[in-house]
Amino acid sequence: MVDLINIAIKAIFMENMLLAMFLGMCSFLACSRNVKTASGLGAAVIFVMGITVPMNWALNHFLLRTGALAWMGFPNVDLSFLVFITFISTIAAMVQIVEIVMEKYSPALYASLGIFLPLIAVNCSILGASLFMEQRQYGFAEATVFGLSSGFGWFLAIVTMAAIQQKMKYAHVPDGLKGFGINIIITGLMSLAFMAFSGITLF
């Protein structure tokens, strides 16, 4: 139990996907103009990550890794070269489901997210979470917690960013820095502040 809490806190604060690993920046920078849209996208990412990481764990565990096919009678088969393509297809399928559901039940959010909703499929943080899960050899429960809390870390970062950008409406940014430039600077300053957590070891 302590293990799982440890993983969760680590994934949310110390190894925040966005502010410590800098994964998933594109939709973070593009969809953070207001808190409502941002929290919608953030929730979608939590959902997709929370499902794909354990799902990919199962695929990896029972089909892909070396010796995984022993239960079928092929102990020497190594399908791990298929990891990337399998992970990405799972993610794409999940994103498709989220898209269909969102279009049906929350058309306003669907419209405001626009192209960035299907683009979650190529959001590096989601593939990143699956790959971290494989690399760190998490078990099933660990993978689930890791997926959900990584998603939550991403959610927290994008919502905070959106709140800051709402405040920035009153800023008077030099012309050359407007839009993308100032967002990168804000992200940098945010991750400077998030350095507060780096180095904490729990329990």
Partner 1 sequence: MKWLKDKLDAQEKHFVSGGKLEKLYPLFEAVHTIHFSTTAVTKIGAHIRDSLDTKRYMIIVVMALLPTMGFGVYNAGLQTQLAGGLSTDTLSSVLQGLKIFLPILLVTFAVGGFWEVIFAVFRGHEINEGFLVSGMLFPLIVPPTIPLWQVALGISFGVVVGKEVFGGTGRNFLNPALTGRAFLFFSYPAYMSGDAVWTLVSVAKDRVVDTFSGATPLAIAAQVEAPNSVVGVLTEQGFSLSNLFWGTYAGSIGETSVFCILLGAALLIATGIGSWRVMVGSVLGGVLMTTVFNVFSGPTNLPFLHLGPLWHLMMGGFMFGIVFMATDPVSAPDLKASKWVYGLLIGILAIIIRTINPAYPEGVMLAILLMNVFAPLIDHVVLQRKVKKRIPNVI
Binding flag, residue 37, partner 1 (CB under 8 A)? no
* Smallest distance, partner 1 to C-beta of residue 183, A: 12
* Smallest distance, partner 1 to C-beta of residue 111, A: 21
Size of interface with partner 1, in residues (CB under 8 A): 30
Euclidean distance between CA atoms 8 and 46, whole angstroms: 13
Residue reference for tokens 């020497």 = 76
> Judged by CB under 8 A, which of 3, 140, 171, 180 binds partner 1?
171
Strand (E) or helix (H) holding 112: helix 107-113
Euclidean distance between CA atoms 57 and 68, whole angstroms: 12
Euclidean distance between CA atoms 57 and 14, whole angstroms: 23
- By C-beta, is 87 or 152 nearer to partner 1? 152
Residue 130: Cβ within 10 Å count: 29
Binding flag, residue 192, partner 1 (CB under 8 A)? yes
Residues in contact with partner 1 by the rule CB under 8 A: 35, 159-160, 163-164, 166-168, 170-174, 177, 182, 185-186, 189-190, 192-202
